[in-house]
Structure 1
Amino acid sequence: MSDSDDDMPLARTNGHLSASSNSKIRGKAMNNSATKPKPAPVSIRNGPVNGDASPQANGKRKSRASTNNVNYKDASESEDGRLVKRQRKVIPDDSDDEVLSKRKTKLPPAADETAMIEDSDDDQPLTAKLASKRKAIEKNAEKEAKAINASEAKSKKSTPKKAVKDESDDDVPLAGAKGKKRPSNGINGKAKTNGVKKEESDSDAPIRKKAKTAPSKANVKTEKATPAKKAPAKKAKKEVSEEPAEGEDEEEEYRWWDAPKKEDDSIKWTTLEHNGVLFPPPYEPLPKDVKLIYDGTPVNLHVEAEEVAGFFGSMLNSTHNVENPTFQKNFFADFKEVLDRTGGATDRKGNKVDIKEFSKLDFKPIFEYYHAKNEAKKARPAAEKKAEKAEKDKIEAPYMYCKWDGRKEKVGNFRVEPPGLFRGRGEHPKTGKVKKRVMPEQITINIGKEAKVPTPPEGHKWKAVQHDNKATWLAMWQENINGSYKYVMLGATSAVKGQSDFKKFEKARELKKHIARIRKDYTKDLKAEAMADRQRATAVYLIDKFALRAGNEKDTENEAETVGCCSLKYEHVTLREPNTVIFDFLGKDSIRFYDEVTVDRQVFKNLRVFKKPPKKEGDDIFDRLTTTQLNKHLSSYMPGLTAKVFRTYNASYTMANLLKNLKVEDNTMAEKIKLYNDCNREVAILCNHKRTVGASHEAQMEKLGDRIKGLKYQKWRNKMMLLDVDSKQKKKKGAEYFELDADLDEAWIQEHQNFLVEEQRTKIQKKFEKDNQKRQEEGEKPLPDKELKERLRAADELAKKFKKENKTKKVEAEGKAPTVEKIENNILKIEERIRTLELQAADRDGNKEVALGTSKINYIDPRLTVVFAKKFDVPIEKFFSKTLREKFNWAIKSVEDDDNWEF
């Protein structure tokens, strides 16, 4: 079957559809009779995009009701049957060409300069190489799900499948299928936005605004500890502000993962004591000689306006922000409002100065003042810095800990955010707006009924005090930029946060039992007769295969217009025959999501249908689906299952399979770490955790390269020492062994020698200063300057030594009683260090475009990392920093005695 004669060829740029094409383009004909094997999903992330790429400002999302009368009727029918809407209108599957809109792309610039991650052997993108692995992992998941369900069937009366059928109370008939039922997803009702954001947030924030939503938001447990655990807590009753001693910390550790599980965890705490929040220091006015300049005239400002001017002036070195037109526009609008409210600006004589244009403002005197102040702060003696830190710690101590059911728990963000300029992430429309100072009158305190309420600052009072034991926050307030609520929560190392993480990963593990059936069902529903069912199946496919976030509807026009799968609009999806889909939209945190993927042929057909006229720019792709409906459908498979669980499951399950298949034998420590990071990288690519190459990356790589070259030079010097000890070694090992490495030349050696001399000189000076500081603290006289001169002679001697070596081309053996054996051992050690650094360099260069931390911290079950570290004798410190070890203490301790733990 062929398409109409007036079909135009696809416009392409660099091998894919141009993002800025100004003419209407139509897709090529689809050959419905051709049968091709379904390809594994392949993603080409952050691929090249040319053309206009300025920030996009989409309108508010349209109501679902507005699309009820859209006619999707096509000119011809497909052999796949017809899509049936709720009104029984005939909607063909995929037979005519969909008209793609003119691309009015106004998104952040494409990362053209960011190369795709490639294997060193060829030019095939790594994402393409992962496709076959993904396919094998999915097959493995299907087998595992069947095995789990078969095992459970023996010990349970009913299978999970029966339970699902019994769960649905409001089943409606599936169009065109006799006797078949499917759970209603509420498509005839109005799409509600209330609560959707919280439900779909990728962070498991235990926050609730309404009491009825608390159980699903908190994801925490307050199980009762055994009497043995409680006893020490009573003995060690201290002030909330005191930090426990190291011995007590270990003795009183609350092993909640071993404690009995409560059936109802809606009550988060029984008793709660804390000391409230710590406010930022008040504003210190500028010296009288430091002024904002307008059109060449220094101006006097009210202290409130001066503070706002200081926000901008102090960050002139952050050109990314201060040179951003949106940042400038928003700042100037808010600055003008403060000026008008506080009486405006005056010159030295008191005459009014009308500030009208941002371009005439000169913040340099303010910047220079703050810059000089910061430099002076850095240059202070170590003793002064130490004293200041001690004073700061003393002030913060009362707020750092709270008593939660009698246990001492660390508080996370107890500091109230200071005023300043909002920066946002990505291309946020409100960047540059003034974040106002938060006052006690805006803050609500949540605390136990019997506890003492924290005292607000003198002359102020709290907005409210409540005793909500179904909430896990200690204090909250509403910020002025987006109107969102800020919460003071327990720290990442607390039992509450740990339980939240544990539940998240356990829910992902539970999905293993159901994933095969879910995939089977949505694959079948890709050809469903009902439009809503087909849209839902397509959305679940995209979420499962390409880790798209579900997406939420926006409540305000001023909010950053970010989207996810369910909220994709017409212009965000471009189709290219035969089965390539290009996503291009603002994702989470206003960061551009660009992804070119190869999809199942039926998914491609469905997306063509979802883009049929009269659809146009601004219209929803999934106009029969909301996030709420999608999650309601998913929960019919498994209680609590939502779209975001797929990211955690796919990341953790993929990591588990990759680690399981690793061949680790006699690898060095550095090689084992790199193998782990390679697996982590594949997961990060799966989750699309991309990052732009940092400005410092090239400098870091150059520095690492210099370290490697320095070691090679050191190795060569040791080889030359070998000849100094035993000249016969040249004949024994051959002349090539003693040749200078190809990476090193005379100019570089001379430069490196100078660097080594200066480095030694600097170390000596620092050691001298440290010794004097210690003597001063102990009340002793400082060392005389001649002592420093004496010490610096070592650097001068090193310089002379290098000069002699360059002239004679010989190196005298160093150390006490040097022997051939000792020097050869030194050479082996240096070679090992070179190999380690080369692995680090390859690892760092491979990670320049991939954010490994996000997947490792949020999506990969930490127990997988712990098990890998145990199995291959790698210290857990190599993967988790001290902060992460505290955060994932539950994971480290819960599997320390379980050698057979599997995700």
Structure 2
Amino acid sequence: MSSDDDMPLARANGHLSADKISKAEDRAMDIDSDVELKPAPLSIRHGPVVGDDSPLANGHGKRKSRSSTSNVNYHESDGDDGRSTKRQRKAVVDDSDSDVPIKNKTRLPPAADETAVAEDSDDDVPLNRKLVNKRKSIDKAAEKEAKAIRSAESKAKKPTPKKAVKEESDDDQPLSGVKSRKRTVNGTNGKAKSNGVKKEDSDSDTPMRKKVKTATPKAKAKAKTEQTTSGKKAPVKKAKKEQSEDPADAEDDEDDEEFRWWDQAKSDDSIKWQTLEHNGVLFPPEYEPLPKNVKLVYDGTPVNLHIEAEEVAGFFGAMLNSTHNVENPVFQKNFFNDFKDVLKRTGGAKDQQGNKVDIKEFSKLDFQRIFEYYHGKSEARKARSKDEKAAEKAEKDKMEAPFMYCKWDGRKEKVGNFRVEPPGLFRGRGEHPKTGKVKLRVAPEQITINIGKDAQVPRPPEGHKWKAVQNDNKATWLAMWQENINGAYKYVMLGAQSTVKGQADLKKFEKARELKKHIAKIRKDYERDLKAESMADRQRATAVYLIDRFALRAGNEKDAENEAETVGCCSLKFEHVTLREPNTVIFDFLGKDSIRYYDEVTVDRQVFKNLRVFKKSPKKEGDDIFDRLTTSQLNKHLSSYMPGLTAKVFRTYNASFTMQKLLNEIKDEDRTMAEKIKLYNDCNREVAILCNHKRTVGASHETQMGKLADRIKGLKYQVWRNKQMMLDIDPKLKKKKGADFFELDPDLDEAWILEHLNFLVEEQRTKIQKKFEKDNQKLQEAGEKIMPDKELKERLKDADELAKKLKKENKSKKVEAEGRAPTVEKIEANLKKIDERIRTLELQALDRDGNKEVALATSKINYIDPRLTVIFSNKFNVPIEKLFQKSIREKFHWAIKSIGEDDSWQF
């Protein structure tokens, strides 16, 4: 470990832990407690600490108890209709531990044992205990597998006697079989090949992908010419057509052959491309001045502003309805300071007579006229006709088309963020100290272009020039500039589905697979060092324990003045950790993206003792807990086990390895598609819980569950109607099947039925109206006379007839048989279909309710190896579209293609 001199200055200013821990001090941390020792490790709560009589160590007082959010019953709901915002939808993909915003500190999810995994089980074992036992069995499996891998590698390092090789070659096995067996024994043989490609070191004898059986002769010839030996980069294939100056003008899809980069020999990582062509970046539109009658008002006086100052005033005025921002004092202060700077630079504000107006107080500014103008424009955009929207979209697509793709080594690759961010007000995440500052418009003179040496440099806007043009083929970005808020560099990169991004993802998951070999030794070492005499070693071991067992991020040091004060494991402070005897640790801090991380976990007793030592007096609030450890020191220690190993790799390894074990436990039985999908989600959910990927219950959850419940009830009502039709055909069935068979489901009370009948009638009216409008549109497009409103009124009589019919049925509780030549057999077949739909929806409801507090997407997109999902898809005949949405299928295209139809690959 590094000396104290290597500690950050901020840490040196606080109270520093002793260099050594004596045995007497270690024993002193043992506090006798009658409280039962809880199982460890496990995250048992993701909500407020419940007040009880358990002692809290280090003087922390008890928090008030707060009842957890109750489980939502999908049979009942009276919630208002709600929709998730764009930020909420984005948060699903974000790599975050929790979706709890810091300002909403009281709204927290319930305990894991109150929600977690929904199981149809009569087992009385608490969920906490189940997860502990499952985690222990998974850890044991990991240790056993690590030992087996290392043992096999150890044997492989021993030289094989020539005689043994000779005997093997004389065997009746074909030559290819001999080569294959030799490659298994000596996994480091650089000459060994699979499908004609140099084989890389692997963690498993299972091939990375199934041999491509459907490859065309043309594709095989292409692959053969592109393969290389000795790790050299394959030559770039020349384009079949003369390349256009516009890289967006790609060849026809029929001429494009898929580039299977995952089949290629590993090349030099430092060289990213040989040729690169692109059209630069797309700038936001120029500012459109406000109408002359729309002014900023100061102290009751409308003022004239320079166009630059007017634009900045418009930034604030346009977002008056975002009270979360505009009513934030920090947001107001930062905006006003920047606004005054712009006023000073542009000549200030003047009244209608040209007299100077000195703007000194923010409270006297009135942005209402500006807000009303922009709000009106927004409403007008929403009210546009379908044709207007389509025309505008077509124009937008045409403008963006040249920037959407580039030519990377002659291949068409999609560019990710080719748009330069427009100017506006910086919002930041959480309580960012710079929220409200003005994001300036980015000029071409700030942008550096990275492009191939022989490629045509994109033209900057008229009258401008680029800051610089470079030809760095070791970089993967296409353009770069520095923003003015935090001085951060922004890069234009390839899209998520590109070769470069795919290679990075594959490398990440392969690194996690490599950790399998070392995990047993790492855990053995840190468990030993939990009792080390050296404070630095003990802190390091405790940090690795928390990172491995509870998926804490390592944490980097922040500039408190310029960044939100977010922390991770190594940067935890005294106030972020509360201890409750005998082995409960409560974390409460701002995590990644300023999202509040609050969790109550049970740990091994030695870890609990160590944290007491690290918080020992005279330490107080503001002092670091791990004051003899930094993230760089931690990662340097981890890299001694395996090159490139960092704290982040543990999250990927734990999620993927756990998912593999859970999927292996699923038996191949006859199940419906909905049941298979729920099984997969159950596994994903357990991974998310064990890896601590949690979130708050969304505001729209109850509404969504209510809608599902209504759909299920609606189908149950259809079941009742169909059964009444059976009685209409054959009244004797009541005696034959029993009166109970024809009874109304108890979930359907009279109030709900009346509401449902009204819904069915209104639904019919809406359908008739839409059909009428569509028919008229077709007539208009054909140049024929459209139908008058009289025709619509005539059609709507069908809805009136339906209303009368349903009212009569509900009153008499009798239903006339419908359809052509209805029979009991036909109705029974229909009932069977409705029952299947009810079962599918009930599974969806159970699945959705189980997912309400678990961030499934976080695990599935960022931490679970996508090849595991593909294997599940193949093994259980579940279309991959049911498990991965389109954008994720594009992102993990390499995983889908590399596995093919194989179902034997293992993480």
TM-score by length of 1: 0.80
Give the 5 Å matches for 1:127-142.
Answer: 129-142=130-143
Which one of the candidate residues 100, 107, 110 is aligned to 2:105? Answer: 110
The answer on 1:258 being equivalent to 2:263 is: yes
| Matched residue, 1:42 | 42
> What's the CA shift string for 1:198-251, capped at 9, x where partnerless?
xxxxxxxxxxxxxxxxxxxxxxxx9993499965843484541135544345xx
Contact 2:248 2:402 in 1 (8 A): yes
Contact 1:30 1:578 in 2 (8 A): no
> How far apart are residue 808 of structure 1 and its match?
2.9
Give the 5 Å matches for 1:148-547.
Answer: 148-157=149-158, 225-226=226-227, 233-235=239-241, 237-238=243-244, 239-242=246-249, 245-249=252-256, 252-262=257-267, 264-547=268-551
> Whole-Å Cα distance in 2 between the matches of residues 423 and 233 of structure 1?
46
> How far apart are residue 407 of structure 1 and its match?
0.9
Cα distance change on mapping 1:225 and 1:707 into 2, 3 Å: same
| Matched residue, 2:581 | 577
Greater displacement, 800-809 / 603-612: 800-809
| Matched residue, 2:192 | none
> Whole-Å Cα distance in 1 between the matches of residues 242 and 821 of structure 2?
58
> Whole-Å Cα distance in 2 between the matches of residues 28 and 702 of structure 1?
55
2:226 is paired with a residue whose SS is coil
| Matched residue, 2:13 | none
> How far apart are residue 356 of structure 1 and its match?
4.1
In structure 1, the gaps of 5 or more residues are: 1-26, 52-96, 159-221
Cα distance change on mapping 1:274 and 1:126 into 2, 3 Å: farther
> What's the CA shift string for 1:605-654, capped at 9, x where partnerless?
21122222332222221122111111111111111111110000001111
Which amino acid in 2 is paired with 1:146?
A: K
> What's the CA shift string for 1:281-329, capped at 9, x where partnerless?
1111222233334444444333223322322332333333333333333
> How far apart are residue 564 of structure 1 and its match?
0.8
The answer on 1:682 being equivalent to 2:686 is: yes
> How far apart are residue 278 of structure 1 and its match?
0.3
Contact 1:223 1:260 in 2 (8 A): no
Contact 2:638 2:646 in 1 (8 A): yes
Which amino acid in 2 is paired with 1:874?
A: V
Identity %, equivalent residues: 77
Give the 5 Å matches for 1:544-583.
Answer: 544-555=548-559, 557-583=561-587
Greater displacement, 843-852 / 660-669: 660-669
> What's the CA shift string for 1:733-776, capped at 9, x where partnerless?
21122222222222222222222222222222223323333444
Which one of the candidate residues 671, 674, 677 is aligned to 1:670? Answer: 674
> Whole-Å Cα distance in 2 between the matches of residues 312 and 49 of structure 1?
39
> What's the CA shift string for 1:802-829, capped at 9, x where partnerless?
2322333221222222111111121121
1:657 is paired with a residue whose SS is helix
Contact 2:39 2:129 in 1 (8 A): no
> What's the CA shift string for 1:532-567, capped at 9, x where partnerless?
211111111111001111111124622111111111
Which one of the candidate residues 792, 795, 800 is aligned to 2:804? Answer: 800
> Whole-Å Cα distance in 1 between the matches of residues 352 and 346 of structure 2?
17
Which one of the candidate residues 780, 790, 799 is aligned to 1:786? Answer: 790
1:141 is paired with a residue whose SS is helix
| Matched residue, 2:719 | 715
TM-score by length of 2: 0.79
> Whole-Å Cα distance in 1 between the matches of residues 754 and 35 of structure 2?
67
Cα distance change on mapping 1:113 and 1:47 into 2, 3 Å: closer
> How far apart are residue 274 of structure 1 and its match?
0.5
2:469 is paired with a residue whose SS is strand
1:513 is paired with a residue whose SS is coil
Give the 5 Å matches for 1:84-103.
Answer: 99-100=58-59
> Whole-Å Cα distance in 1 between the matches of residues 381 and 448 of structure 2?
35
Contact 1:443 1:477 in 2 (8 A): yes
The answer on 1:857 being equivalent to 2:852 is: no
Contact 1:225 1:256 in 2 (8 A): no
Which amino acid in 1 is paired with 2:240?
A: K
Contact 1:223 1:261 in 2 (8 A): no
Which amino acid in 1 is paired with 2:451?
A: I
> How far apart are residue 408 of structure 1 and its match?
0.9
Contact 1:293 1:363 in 2 (8 A): yes
The answer to which structure, 1 or 2, has the higher relative contact order (CA under 8 A, 6+ apart) is 2
2:254 is paired with a residue whose SS is helix
Which amino acid in 2 is paired with 1:827?
A: L
> How far apart are residue 357 of structure 1 and its match?
4.0
> What's the CA shift string for 1:411-432, capped at 9, x where partnerless?
0010111112222223323222
Contact 1:44 1:125 in 2 (8 A): no
1:667 is paired with a residue whose SS is coil
Which amino acid in 1 is paired with 2:40?
A: A
> Whole-Å Cα distance in 1 between the matches of residues 237 and 274 of structure 2?
17
> Whole-Å Cα distance in 2 between the matches of residues 840 and 274 of structure 1?
45
Which amino acid in 1 is paired with 2:461?
A: P
> Whole-Å Cα distance in 1 between the matches of residues 250 and 821 of structure 2?
52
In structure 2, the gaps of 5 or more residues are: 1-26, 65-100, 160-222, 229-233
> Whole-Å Cα distance in 2 between the matches of residues 839 and 530 of structure 1?
54
| Matched residue, 1:79 | none
> Whole-Å Cα distance in 2 between the matches of residues 154 and 544 of structure 1?
29
> Whole-Å Cα distance in 1 between the matches of residues 360 and 718 of structure 2?
63
> How far apart are residue 100 of structure 1 and its match?
4.3
The answer on 1:143 being equivalent to 2:148 is: no
> Whole-Å Cα distance in 2 between the matches of residues 357 and 861 of structure 1?
55
Greater displacement, 625-634 / 305-314: 305-314
The answer on 1:738 being equivalent to 2:745 is: no
Cα distance change on mapping 1:37 and 1:126 into 2, 3 Å: closer
Contact 2:57 2:581 in 1 (8 A): no
Which one of the candidate residues 630, 640, 664 is aligned to 1:626? Answer: 630
Cα distance change on mapping 1:831 and 1:230 into 2, 3 Å: farther
1:486 is paired with a residue whose SS is strand
| Matched residue, 2:904 | 900
| Matched residue, 1:640 | 644
> What's the CA shift string for 1:442-498, capped at 9, x where partnerless?
111111111111111111111111111111000111112221111100001111100
> Whole-Å Cα distance in 2 between the matches of residues 321 and 503 of structure 1?
40
Which amino acid in 1 is paired with 2:759?
A: F
> Whole-Å Cα distance in 2 between the matches of residues 501 and 123 of structure 1?
41
Cα distance change on mapping 1:309 and 1:551 into 2, 3 Å: same
> Whole-Å Cα distance in 1 between the matches of residues 779 and 557 of structure 2?
65
1:817 is paired with a residue whose SS is coil
Cα distance change on mapping 1:426 and 1:879 into 2, 3 Å: farther
Cα distance change on mapping 1:705 and 1:298 into 2, 3 Å: farther
> Whole-Å Cα distance in 1 between the matches of residues 751 and 251 of structure 2?
57
> How far apart are residue 575 of structure 1 and its match?
1.6
| Matched residue, 1:76 | none
The answer on 1:697 being equivalent to 2:701 is: yes
Contact 1:582 1:595 in 2 (8 A): yes
Which amino acid in 1 is paired with 2:640?
A: S
1:884 is paired with a residue whose SS is helix
